[in-house]
Amino acid sequence: MMTLPSFHIVIPARYASQRFPQKMLADLSGKPVVQWVYELALKAGAQSVTIATDHAAIEIAAKAFGADVVMTRPDHENGTERLSEVAKLQGWLGDEIVVNVQGDEPLLPISLIHDAVRALAEDPESEMATVACPINRKEDIFNPSVVKVVCDAKGRALYFSRATMPWDRDGFADGANVIAEGYPALRHIGLYVYRVSLLDRYAQMPMSPLEKWEKLEQLRFLHQGIKVQVATTPQMPPHGVDTPEDLQALAKKLQFQA
């Protein structure tokens, strides 16, 4: 296994959220959610860890717990655009590696960050990497909220979809939805690692028809022929904070771990 290369971590922290407004600043066992993520990221051994936000309230809170903060434009459509702006403002070179760590993932395993960084570094033809894990539950295989990925022989993504894939033609033919032994379903985990040179080009990439229909941003890259390496992990990481109920569940989990 190769030595872990140098990399940066950027934590996009948007103030507005449809399902859970201001969740980045929500209290989780005495600290804002985004502080948990920042402190986790510091343990990953990155060259730098930066919170990228669009709101003064998050900037003030982040500086209060000692974080490096970059204020970004409020009109970004997604975290990738925010990463691109940070990379330019920081003057990072095209061959440097940047990890997008979601600001609502306070229990993200550091090993996943390392696996994704290493996967990208070991594949010079790929310009970004992500993570996936096996799907073991039948209900997840047929759930459109669970994003699936299929890969080629080199571990690169062929396609991401909300649909069930690969389709077991014989096994699913009778509608019984019986999952055959060895069925190679992979669940996509939304951790992304980029080369800065790709982020520089991202703003010029139009939304692809596939992205429009699936509502999956990563399809924009595949549509443009970008190679995406996929690191695999044995199991799904802990769920992040999408709703107030998620926050309560995580608080109980942290209390139990203490």
Supply the DSSP string of 23-87, one letter for each residue: GGGSEETTEEHHHHHHHHHHTTT-SEEEEEES-HHHHHHHHHTT-EEEE--TT-SSHHHHHHHHH
Question: Over the stretch 19-54, which tens digit does the pLDDT of each residue have?
Answer: 787 889 999 989 999 999 999 999 999 999 999 999
C-beta separation of 76 from 5 below 8 A:
no
138 by DSSP, 3-state: which?
helix
| 137 Cβ contact partners less than 8 Å away, ≥ 6 residues apart | none
Mean pLDDT, to the nearest integer, of 192-219?
Answer: 93
* Phi, psi at 139, each rounded to 5°: -65, -30
C-beta separation of 103 from 36 below 8 A:
no
C-beta separation of 230 from 132 below 8 A:
yes
> What is the per-residue pLDDT for 256?
65
Mean pLDDT, to the nearest integer, of 70-87?
Answer: 89
C-beta separation of 131 from 113 below 8 A:
no
Q: What is the model's pTM?
A: 0.92
> What is the per-residue pLDDT for 178?
74
Mean pLDDT, to the nearest integer, of 162-191?
Answer: 88
> What is the per-residue pLDDT for 118?
96
Confidence of residue 257 (pLDDT cuts 50, 70, 90): low
Specify the amino acid at residue 222.
Answer: L
To the nearest 10 degrees (0 to 180), the angle between helices 33-42 and 56-64 is 50
C-beta separation of 98 from 87 below 8 A:
yes
Give yes or no for residue 258 having a pLDDT over 80: no
Average pLDDT of every residue of the chain: 91
Which DSSP string corresponds to 199-251? HHHHTTPPPPHHHHHHT-TTHHHHHTT--EEEEE-SSPPPP--SSHHHHHHHH
Q: Which helix (H) or strand (E) holds 150?
A: strand 148-151
Give yes or no for residue 18 having a pLDDT over 70: no
> What is the per-residue pLDDT for 175?
72
Give yes or no for residue 127 having a pLDDT over 90: yes
> What's the rounded Cα separation, in Å, for the pair 235 and 136?
9
**Domains of the chain by start residue, with CATH:** 7-245 (3.90.550.10)
User: Helices (H), strands (E): how many in the chain?
Assistant: 9, 11
> What is the per-residue pLDDT for 1?
62
Residue 110 tokens read as 């550091």
* Phi, psi at 225, each rounded to 5°: 80, 15
Give yes or no for residue 214 having a pLDDT over 70: yes
Buried b (16+ CB within 10 A) or exposed e, 223-239: eeebbbbbbebeebbee
Q: What spatial distance separates the first Cα and last Cα of the chain, rounded to whole Å?
A: 33
> What is the per-residue pLDDT for 239?
83
Q: Which residue has the higher pLDDT, 119 or 76?
A: 119
Confidence of residue 119 (pLDDT cuts 50, 70, 90): very high
> What is the per-residue pLDDT for 71?
94
Q: What is the rounded radius of gyration, in angstroms, for the C-alpha atoms of the chain?
A: 18
